[in-house]
Amino acid sequence: MLRYDSTSSSAGSSSGSLSSSSSSSKPPQQDIDGLLAGAGYKVRSSELRQVAQRLERLETAMGNSPADFSQLASDAILYNPSDLACWVDSLLTEFAEPPPTCSSDFIVDPVNNQTVVNSAWTAAEPHTPQVHQNITYDEQQSLDNQLTVVTAMEEDSGIRLVHMLMTCAECVQSGDLSLATSLIDDMQGLLTHVNTVCGIGKVAGHFIDALSRRIFQGMGGGSVNGGSAFENEILYHHFYEACPYLKFAHFTANQAILEAFDGHDCVHVVDFNLMHGLQWPALIQALALRPGGPPLLRLTGIGPPSPDGRDSLREIGLRLAELARSVNVRFAFRGVAASRLEDVKPWMLQVNPKEAVAVNSIMQLHRLLGSEQTRNSPIDTVLSWIRGLNPKIMTVVEQEANHNQPGFLDRFTEALYYYSTMFDSLEACRVQPEKALAEIYIQREIGNVVSCEGSARVERHEPLAKWRRRLSGAGFRALHLGSNAFKQASMLLTLFSAEGYSVEENEGCLRLGWHSSPLIAASAWQAVPAWDNHMSSS
């Protein structure tokens, strides 16, 4: 009862003119909404919008604090519930909503207040349109304030979650598994207070899972990628649809390959990971339309062997061949089935010395890295036979992240930051079920980075600067991706409905990122012609 009065009196005190028309003692009869009156509620038509917004806030508040609600149901005495506006106000104050938001609804711009005062006193109408405008503006502000109050609470939990994740990772690194386990439990409890549909809650959930897998399976635990090659292909495909990273990779690499093949009549592309071959239709079409006519195109696709006797590589090859036939490009396909890239030997590719070769590696080279820098490690072997092929161009696209550090905590911190950014960018995608499956794809990467070790950990991402050093040391020099590639990448990004993607050029390489955090980097390389053999072993 007291609160009820204070609401109306605070409204009255901040703008005396309005109290004459809005106090409960004499409601202006001509303003009651007819339809609601039929249902038994008295709401002034002019206040319908306000009441609706407050009902929404009430619903949010009730959802956020179910404990308070049950208390409310038993203890509260509310008078005159049919006066919906005041009833909602009093309930809101019960939920300890910050009172200023109520009175600020009536805090009118001092300049306009004068006009309102005059019109309320002079004219007989209860609410002039000007009053409406003022209320709407301030109400919107108070609504925004209301929303920030709710999310600040969530933000706190989110920050605590991140701190706990870091502490847990530190425990894992130092071997204190008991503390780590109890932290996992605490974090899972904290997850229930955070919105796990988006934002930090979602990413944190995946990292908590990966950490617990690491703790409970011991070091060198089972491979996260228990999925078959078929499953991986499907997840990859949906990752391709949901966000622009792979499209950017394909289009940029294609542009570079197209330019490198200029003037050659026999060309050969070696793809280190064929998947569904989604990169190649665009190249085939571009070659079909190049001035001077298309060359003879050979494509060698490397991929994992199919388990059930299906030859998936050959099926993709047939599809690509059909497309090439439709656009009159002479085409030949060869599939090389290998479960690991280091098992591939150059003779399997059957490269003709007269043809121009392009090697295309989309996020494959990092799998060859080991944690120790030994001589003749897989990466060195592969890079040296690539050099031996003397390719016109080698296109390399890699994740722009440092996930191959020896220290677990450093790796974990980097991964947390990187994948949070990636999940943020995925939020903008509205296409389901692509988005959900793309998330599973990323989740598997996270699992591999965090919970696997030794040969099971294949996601050993390194940043562009490191790749530059490595590739220069192996006898390659960088080719600049031209302005056409940059233009195409910018256009492609604009097509995606989220406005957070950015592409930047960095010494001839292109990096795609979300809000200026680079996530994926594309570069092009060529073998240095005269290379001293004894230098490559250092």
Partner 1 sequence: MVQTHRCEDHETVGENKEKRPKFFINDHVDILIEILKRLDGRSLCVAASVCRLWCTIARNDSLWENLCFRHVSPPPSSVRSVVLALGGYKRLYTGCVRPVRSRLGRMRKASWARDEVQLSLSLFCVDYYERLGGSNSNGRLVGESSPSSLMFLCKPVNV
Q: 276 or 334: whose CB is closer to partner 1?
A: 276
The CB-of-263 to partner 1 minimum distance in angstroms stands at 18
Number of residues that bind partner 1 (CB under 8 A): 44
Residue 68 within binding range of partner 1, rule CB under 8 A: no
Residue 316 within binding range of partner 1, rule CB under 8 A: yes
Strand partners, 334: 300
Residue 96 within binding range of partner 1, rule CB under 8 A: no
Q: How far apart are CA 349 and CA 336, in angstroms?
A: 8
Residue 364 within binding range of partner 1, rule CB under 8 A: no
Q: Which stretch binds partner 1 (CB under 8 A): 123-131, 261-269, 325-333, 518-526?
A: 325-333
The CB-of-495 to partner 1 minimum distance in angstroms stands at 5
The SS3 of residue 47 is: helix
Per-residue binding string, partner 1, 123-162, x by CB under 8 A, is ----------------------------------------
Q: How far apart are CA 56 and CA 52, in angstroms?
A: 6
- Going by the DSSP 8-state scheme, the letter that residue 63 receives in this structure is H
DSSP codes of every residue in 250-315? HHHHHHHHHHHTTT-SEEEEEES--TT-TTHHHHHHHHHTSTT---EEEEEEEEPPPTTS--HHHH
CA dist list (Å): 488 to 229, 254, 394, 483 = 31, 11, 19, 8
Q: Which stretch binds partner 1 (CB under 8 A): 46-54, 129-137, 326-334, 505-513?
A: 326-334
The CB-of-456 to partner 1 minimum distance in angstroms stands at 26
Q: 190 or 288: whose CB is closer to partner 1?
A: 288
Residue 491 within binding range of partner 1, rule CB under 8 A: yes
* Residues in region 412-441 near partner 1 by CB under 8 A: 428-431, 434
Residue pair 170/391 in contact by the 8 Å Cβ criterion: no
352 phi/psi in degrees, rounded to 5: -85, 130
The CB-of-380 to partner 1 minimum distance in angstroms stands at 35
Ramachandran class of 478: left when φ > 0, alpha when ψ lies in -120 to 50, beta otherwise: beta
- Going by the DSSP 8-state scheme, the letter that residue 376 receives in this structure is T
Tokens of 20: 């004459």
* Residues in region 327-346 near partner 1 by CB under 8 A: 327-328
CA dist list (Å): 111 to 107, 127, 236, 464, 521 = 11, 17, 60, 58, 55
Residue 288 within binding range of partner 1, rule CB under 8 A: yes
Q: How far apart are CA 462 and CA 467, in angstroms?
A: 7
Q: Which of 111, 152, 495, 535 binds partner 1 (CB under 8 A)?
A: 495
Q: Which of 191, 234, 456, 478 binds partner 1 (CB under 8 A)?
A: 234
Q: 179 or 278: whose CB is closer to partner 1?
A: 278
Residue 251 within binding range of partner 1, rule CB under 8 A: yes
Helix ranges (H only) for 406-510 are 408-427, 434-451, 464-473, 483-495
Per-residue binding string, partner 1, 267-286, x by CB under 8 A, is ---------xxx--xx-xxx
Q: How far apart are CA 13 and CA 18, in angstroms?
A: 9
The CB-of-27 to partner 1 minimum distance in angstroms stands at 42
Task: Give contact residues for partner 1 (rule: CB under 8 A).
Answer: 234, 237-238, 240-241, 244, 251, 254, 276-278, 281-282, 284-286, 288-289, 291, 293, 312, 315-316, 319-320, 322-323, 326-328, 428-431, 434, 487-488, 491-492, 494-497, 499
